[in-house]
Structures are given as C-alpha cells and as structure tokens.
Amino acid sequence: MNRSKKAPSSITSLYEDPRNANLYVHVSQPAHMATPGRRRRLYPRNVPSISPWDSAVQGGDAVWEGLRVYPPSAAEDTADGGSARVFLLDKHLDRLFASAKAMGFRKGEMHTREEVMEAIMEILQVNKMEGGNVHIHMTLTRGEKCTSSINPKSNIYGTTLVLLPEFHNPTDIAPRDDNGIVLLTAAHRRPPPQCLDSKMHHANRIVDVLPRLQAHVAGAAEALMLDLEGYVAGTDAANLFLINAAGALVTPTADHCVPGIARQAVLDACREIGLTAEVRRVSLAEVYCAEEVFATGTLEGIRVVKNVDGREIGEGAEGGGPVTRRLKALYDTLPYREGWFIPLSF
C-alpha cells in the first residue's frame, strides 16, 4: 500500500513573501571548538543541517530569542546611506547569554557574543535582507551529544548556534482583523517559579504550544494564560497590558511569564510621556471589563486585543482605544532612535 502523502504545493504557503523559499540559514559551533565536519555555517533552508544528536532535538535543551529587523526610516533609504536596523539587539543578546548561564551552559564551550553578532550580520547579508522587514529566530543549544542522554556530560562539541531569518511583515496567520485579535483563556496554566523559572528563556515551549493549539481550534488568535491561582500571566507568546475604567494602565507581574523586551520598552515609553503603569496581579474579570487591552512582543510590537472569551473589549474602535493608539505611535518610533537599535554593518 502506498502511504506516501502529497507534498505541500509550496513551502512558503504560510508566508507572504516568496523570497522565503530560497533562504539560507546559519548553523555553527564555536570557532574554537569546530571540528572539520562541523565547520559549515550556511545551509539552504531545505537542507538538513541540525544533528539528530543535538540537545535541542534530544530534549529541547536550548535558549532562544526572536529578533526584528526594521527597514530604514521614511527619511532614509539604502541608496542614501540609510540602514535597516536590529531592534534592541543588545537587550536580546543580554537575555540570551543570561539564560544560557542560568541553564548551566559551560562558558568555555559557548559561542562568544562577538561570534553571534557576526553571524547575525552575515546571514542578513547573504540573504540580501538589507531592506529590513525581517524576523530572525535565534537558538543557542547546549550542543551536539556523543550519545542519546539528558546528561550534560555527553555534550562535548560546544554549543550550536542556529539563525533562521525570514522576510516577515508583522502579520499573523491566525484569525484577526484591523480591529484587533481574539484571545481564548487556556485550560493550561503557567508554571510557578518554584517549578520553572520564567526568567530562563528556554526553547522547550510545549507550555506555549498546547494553549496556542487550543486557541486555534476555537478560532482565536492566541491563548490567554493564567497562573495556578487564576491571575493573568499574559498570552502564550506575549505580554499583556490593559487600561481599566479608571483610566489606569496595568500590566501583570512577570512572576509567571517572561518579562518581555517589548514589554519593558512600553514601560520605558510610558515614563517618557508621564504615564504611570501599575505592575501587579491582574484578575481575569479585570481583563473582561477593561476599556482597552493590548499585547506586546518583539515581532509585532503592540497589537490590539478586541475580544477575550467572547467579551468585547472597549468600543471596538479600529486601531484600539486612545491610550493604545498613543503608545503604539510612540513605540513605532523607538527603532529609529539612537540607543534603541544596532544598524546593519555591511
């Protein structure tokens, strides 16, 4: 019996830009540990390049970051010397290496910060991504193992760095429209710090995948995540803010979720315009009754939330309420301010 399945018509079916079909990805060991058979750095996206013995494959033993590359500003273009830029790259690298340290990656067997920076610039140049509108999924694994085991002593080849760049305007394949996204409260809960410290940005993301699956089955864009006590943690992939009936801007504590880099950028932006943000526990009822709700993340910045568990948020105005619109307008300027980005160096 022929059990073969028909191949997808296009590997770019989930992406708007056909250039994503012919990209190169980066996979490497630290330069000082690279063996002759493992020195290759660039691979076509459809060529197997990760060892089945790698820690990421064997147990999700890795840390990761998502990077966004913005295009030159409207006042610039590449012909006039303007440059695309990686938003808050230093912050992302700080978190990457802090997470690796917290997870016990051995310093002498890791890529250096300089190697990671060089690899990012190289992969953008090779893929001709100097125009920006790019997302890079960056993973640093504990490395290839000499045997199938969770024992870190079997990692003898140094860390593995993986860079997956894509042309990607900030859109989502989940159901959405201009008025915002729909959230569904997940049956799964965020683990407390005594079970798994959310400050470690690890790559074992089943706690995110299962809620997202539940949300998509129900026709929602993302899942709203609660902690074990029933307080709001965030979404399955983003932090959450709300504006309540009293006009206060509130965001949940980061005790049970990753304290996102975009979240911190919004908090910094609030201080700039004299807007005080309360960081505290948030109940699900507060979200239901909020005047405005928005989610924050590196890839898509600020996104309006229009509905949670069937409850319409606010007045349903396109682009969100007045506070959301004000913060989004300010946030969208940050990638073009000195100190907030690293320009492409090629």
Residues 46 and 153 in one domain: yes
Q: How far apart are CA 220 and CA 198, in angstroms?
A: 24
Among 169, 203, 218, the domain boundary falls at: 169
Closest CA to 141 of 114, 121, 119, 159: 159
Strands 249-252 and 277-280: parallel
Q: How far apart are CA 226 and CA 292, in angstroms?
A: 19
Residue 145 lies in a domain: yes
- Asked if 140 contacts 64 with a C-beta cutoff of 8 angstroms, the reply is yes
Residues 274 and 200 in one domain: yes
Using CA atoms, how far residue 124 sits from 93, 188, 245, 335, in Å, is 17, 37, 45, 18
Residues 60 and 99 in one domain: yes
- Asked if 302 contacts 296 with a C-beta cutoff of 8 angstroms, the reply is yes
Residue 341 lies in a domain: no
Residue 8 lies in a domain: no
Instruction: Indicate the pTM of the whole model.
Output: 0.90
Question: How many Cβ atoms from other residues are within 10 Å of residue 107's Cβ?
Answer: 9
Residue 302 lies in a domain: yes
**Structural domain range at position 38:** 18-169
Residues 155 and 278 in one domain: no
Number of domains in the chain: 2
Q: What percent of the chain has pLDDT over 70?
A: 89
Token readout for 327 is 């913060």
Model confidence pLDDT, tens digit, residues 59-90? 999 999 999 999 998 765 544 446 899 999 99
Residues 102 and 185 in one domain: no
- Give residue 32's pLDDT band: very low, low, confident or very high (50, 70, 90): confident
Q: Regarding predicted confidence, which is higher, 45 or 1?
A: 45
Among 133, 150, 169, the domain boundary falls at: 169
Tell me what pLDDT residue 86 has.
97
Angle, CA of 57, 61 and 62, to the nearest 5°: 100
Residues 27 and 163 in one domain: yes
Q: What CATH number is attached to the domain comprising 114?
A: 3.30.470.10
Residues 147 and 188 in one domain: no
Using CA atoms, how far residue 226 sits from 143, 204, 239, 261, 263, in Å, is 33, 19, 12, 20, 18
Q: Taking residues 221-225, report their average pLDDT.
A: 97
Strands 277-280 and 311-312: unpaired
Closest CA to 136 of 96, 165, 161: 165
Residues 182 and 329 in one domain: yes
Model confidence pLDDT, tens digit, residues 132-159? 999 999 999 999 999 999 888 899 899 9
Among 169, 200, 235, the domain boundary falls at: 169
Residues 300 and 246 in one domain: yes
Q: How far apart are CA 237 and CA 240, in angstroms?
A: 10
Residues 105 and 202 in one domain: no
Closest CA to 143 of 172, 103, 88: 103
Using CA atoms, how far residue 333 sits from 78, 140, 177, 340, in Å, is 19, 30, 23, 10
The β-bridge partners of 168 are: none
Q: What CATH number is attached to the domain comprising 294?
A: 3.20.10.10
Token readout for 229 is 């006590």
